[in-house]
Amino acid sequence: MIKKRIVRKVLVFAVLAVLAACGGVSVSASSGGQVADISLVSKYDGSEEYAVIIATDDDGQPVWTLKTEEYPAAQSSAFADIGIFEDQYFYVERGKVISLDRESGRKNWENSDFGGAPTQYCRIISDNGTIYLSGYLGPDFYAVDKYGNTLGRISRINPDYYWPVALGVRGDEVTIRMEGSPDWQETEIRFNMRDYQISDKPSSPQPGSSSGDSGYSNEDLVRMAADYYEFINGQRPPIVEVDSENGDEVTIHLYEMMSDHTATWDWYYVNRRTLKGSNLLGNEVDLGIVA
């Protein structure tokens, strides 16, 4: 699996080099295989920004590629990957949510109502294909269905809170973690999509608040790890277990059992008192969001 990923990355970057050299608006090529993965890479050419989207098959061979238009580079990137749902691939291009056909790369639809630039953890595809986004500089909340119809948009939930850095949706409840606040503390803003009633609360509890001086129990950590993964990614891992402990440092494995192997969803390395740590890719993890 690791070798296949390495080969895929080498091929992807080789295609990027060709696209950059030819400078065309769009390029399409086919290996004849079915699309297994789609990646988006933002590129800069002087003061201009563009993106290259590459669909690859199971062997890492390009099935199709697309080079976007170029835009003046700004504070936030003009592009953001959203992901694949059924036969569609979604991404953001200069404030527009765009749907491409998964197998051909042809555009299905685009919707310009969003108008923002989502951060890494502020884009979710739900189980029914609804897309939820928060823009770092606004809007605070946006929802569009898989057909391209806008379902809701909130430019600013509360003027005292800004810079969304994490977005979670569970049922009708939306939770947005704001980096900016009057006291410069990260804060969660929660509201219900049925009536948009909003409440604020601190994003992280005091260390060990649920289990005394010993910190959180393994049972608590497993539950929070599953909730956190679902909060960030919109999917719940089938199995979550504490793999090892070293004092207050705990390693948590999130995975599923396949017919012939174990498929890892992620690893969390967190402190049982602070609930903070990192994941397999080195990204920050804060289980306090869902404590």
Q: pLDDT digit string (tens) for 222-246?
A: 999 998 998 888 888 999 999 999 8
How much of the chain exceeds pLDDT 90, in percent? 51
Backbone angles phi and psi of 16, in degrees to 5: -60, -40
- Indicate the pLDDT class of residue 194, thresholds 50, 70 and 90: confident
Strand-pairing partners, residue 92, are 80, 97
How much of the chain exceeds pLDDT 70, in percent? 84
Of 55-69, 197-211, 258-272, which has the strongest mean pLDDT?
A: 55-69
| Long-range CB contact pairs, 213-222, < 8 A, 24+ | 214/272, 215/248, 215/271, 215/272, 215/273, 216/272, 216/273, 216/275, 216/291, 217/272, 218/242, 218/245, 218/250, 221/250, 221/252, 221/270, 221/272, 221/287, 222/252
Q: pLDDT tens across 133-150, in order?
A: 999 989 999 999 999 999
Mean pLDDT on 2-9:
45
Q: pLDDT tens across 174-184, in order?
A: 989 888 888 88
